Chains A and B, each alone.
Chain A
C-alpha cells in the first residue's frame, strides 16, 4: 500500500491577555490561595499588546512568516526583539486578537451559552466582517448583543463565567447544567475556547492550502480537553463539532487523547487510515488551552519580563493519499514508548528515536531535522525549565555517541545541524513535534532536507491513572515522485532477494 502524505498544515495563535488573568490556572490558583499577592498586583503591567505579540519572532515563526533557521539568527532573549513590518497573517495561518476571538466563541457556540454585550458584539462583527476566512453566515451568528444587566445576573446568580476584554466584563459563558460539573460554566468556557481555536486552525489549513472542505472524510481532534456530561465525562466529540463549523459536510471524526503526545499519535493514526484506503483525506486538528495561559507567569514577572504565555495555540494538518509530490509518512518507521520500555531518558530516546531508525537501517545522522518538544526557550528558560528542544537534541546526540555513530566532540555540531530553536507556545500538545510539519513540507519541496522525524511525548502520570510516560514518533520523507511507492516489493527488497538467490546459487556451486 502506498504511503500517505502531509498535504498541508495550518497554524494559528490567539492573543488572549484577559484570559491569562481570569482563566490561566496559575492565576486562578493564586487568587484562591493568596488573593492579595504581589504577583497578581504586578501581572497586568507585564502583559503585551497585540502588536508586540505579532512582532515577536517566535510567533512569526509559528505562523510561517520566518523559518526556524531565521529565528536562530536572533540572539536570545527574543522578547526584546521584534520583526519589523510583521503581519498578523502568515504563510501557514494567523494571529487573532482577543476581541475577534470572543466573537468567534459565540459563533461556534450552538447551545446559546455565550452571551456578549452590545459593545463587543459590534466590535467583533465589524472586525470579523473584514476577516478573510470568516463568512457572512458565521458573522450573522453574532446576532444582536445582550444587555449588561442580563450578563451580570447570569454571572452573579447563575454561576456563569465572565468573559473579559481590556479588563472589563463584556459577556459570559453560561453553565449548561445546574449541578453537573462537567457542564459547568468553567468547563464549557474551556471547551468552547479549544473548539473555536481548533476551528480557526482548520479554516486556515483549508484556505492556505486550497483544500475543498467537502473532500475531507475524517477529522481527528487531539487537544487535551474533554467534553461530555456527568454520565460520560470525555464522551467527545470535538472533532466533528469543528468539522461542522468548517463546512466539512462529508466528514465524521473522533477525539484522540494522549497528553502532549496526542498530535503525533493522531498523525500516525491519520497516516494509517489513509494508507489503508479507509479515507482519502484525514485532518488532525487541535485548539489551545486557557488553563496553560501564564503558566510560568510568576517567574516572568519576577524576572521583570513580559508574561510570554499570552497566546492560545492551534494547528491542523491534512494527511492525504500519495500524490507523488508531498512528503510521505513512513508508517514503517514508527517509534513508540511501550509499557515495558522503562522510564530512563536513555530507554525513552532509544524507543522513540533509534528503534524506528534501526527498522530502516538508518543512522541518527540520516534524519536531517528532528522535531521534538518545540517549546519556546524564551518562555521556559527564565522559569528554570531550561531549553527543552536543545536538551532533547543533546540526548539524541548522546545516544548517537553511545551507539558509536557520532564522535563525542561532534555533539554540539549535531545539535546545531539536526536541531532547531523552539518557537511554539507552551500549550502542552501544541509544541509537541507537530509545529515543524509545515516547515518540513516546504523544506522537502525545496530539496533542503530529505527526512524529518516528528516526535511526541506525553506525561501520562498527570492523569493519575498510570505512572508511565508516553511517546510516539514517525519519519517524514521527501516524496520520490513514484506514486505507487511502498506498493508491492520495493527496489531495495528486490535487490536483497536477487542477492540472496545468487548467494544460494553460489553456495550450491561451491558445495558441488
Chain B
C-alpha cells in the first residue's frame, strides 16, 4: 500500500476509532490484496510507511468478497464491479483475505 494511503488510513483511524473503520480493497491480485490487508491489520510488512509497526487490526474486505457484495445494490454492483468479478481470481482473493483477517483482525464479527 502506498505511503500516502497508509497515512490516510492511520489518520482516519485515529479520528474515528478502529471499531468504526472498514477498509475496502480493489486490488487485482490475491497477493496484492493480502499485502494491503496485512498493512491495515498487522502493520506495513515492508516497514516503509506510516503503518510500519502499527497494528490497527481493522476490518478489511475486498470488494469481490460476499461480506461486501451482499450489502450493496445488486444492480449497482453489476454495473461497477460485475465485469471485474468475471476477470479476477475471486477464490484466491477470498482465501488470502480470510487468512489475514483470521490472523490479524481485532474484530471477530
Contacts and interface: CB of A to CB of B under 8 A. Distances in A.
Interface string B22-45: 000000110110010000000000
A364 to B, nearest CB: 12
Contacts of A130: none
B2 to A, nearest CB: 11
B8 to A, nearest CB: 13
A410 to B, nearest CB: 12
B74 interface: no
B12 interface: no
Contacts of A347: 80
B83 A386 contact: no
B32 A346 contact: no
Interface in A115-130: none
Given A384-B29, A386-B28, A391-B28, A345 B35 contact: no
Interface string A386-409: 100001001100110110000010
Interface string A174-199: 00000000000000000000000000
B33 to A, nearest CB: 10
A391 B88 CA distance: 9
B83 A399 contact: yes
Interface in B35-91: 35, 48, 79-84, 86-87
A384 B87 contact: no
A398 B32 contact: no
B32 A385 contact: yes
A344 interface: yes
A321 B6 CA distance: 51
B83 A395 contact: yes
A401 B86 contact: yes
A347 B83 CA distance: 10
B29 A346 contact: no
Contacts of B83: 345-346, 349, 395, 398-399, 402
A244 B31 CA distance: 48
A394 B84 CA distance: 9
Interface string A266-290: 0000000000000000000000000
B84 A345 contact: yes
A398 B29 contact: no
Main secondary structure of the interface of B (DSSP, over half): helix
Contacts of B28: 386, 391
A384 B32 contact: yes
B80 A344 contact: yes
Given A385-B32, A386-B28, A386-B29, A346 B82 contact: yes
B81 A344 contact: yes
A120 B83 CA distance: 54
Main secondary structure of the interface of A (DSSP, over half): helix
B86 A398 contact: yes
A346 B79 contact: yes
Nearest to B31: A384
B66 to A, nearest CB: 19
Given A384-B29, A384-B32, A346 B80 contact: yes
B26 to A, nearest CB: 9
A202 B107 CA distance: 59
B31 A398 contact: no
A39 to B, nearest CB: 11
A417 B25 CA distance: 31
B87 A395 contact: yes
Interface string A321-365: 000000000000000000000001111010000000000000000
Nearest to B86: A398
A346 B84 contact: yes
A365 B22 CA distance: 41
Interface string A407-440: 0100100000000000000000000000000000
Contacts of A385: 29, 32
A140 B37 CA distance: 58
A408 B87 CA distance: 11
B106 to A, nearest CB: 26
Given A391-B87, A394-B87, A395-B87, A402 B32 contact: no
A395 B28 CA distance: 11
Nearest to B29: A386
A398 B28 CA distance: 15
Contacts of A391: 28, 87
A399 B87 CA distance: 10
A391 B28 CA distance: 9
25 contacts: A33-B48, A344-B79, A344-B84, A345-B84, A346-B81, A346-B82, A346-B83, A347-B80, A349-B83, A384-B31, A384-B35, A386-B29, A386-B32, A391-B28, A391-B87, A394-B87, A395-B83, A395-B84, A398-B83, A398-B84, A398-B86, A399-B83, A401-B86, A402-B82, A402-B86
Which 5 pairs across A and B sit closest by C-beta, in order of nearness? A398-B86, A346-B83, A394-B87, A344-B80, A398-B83
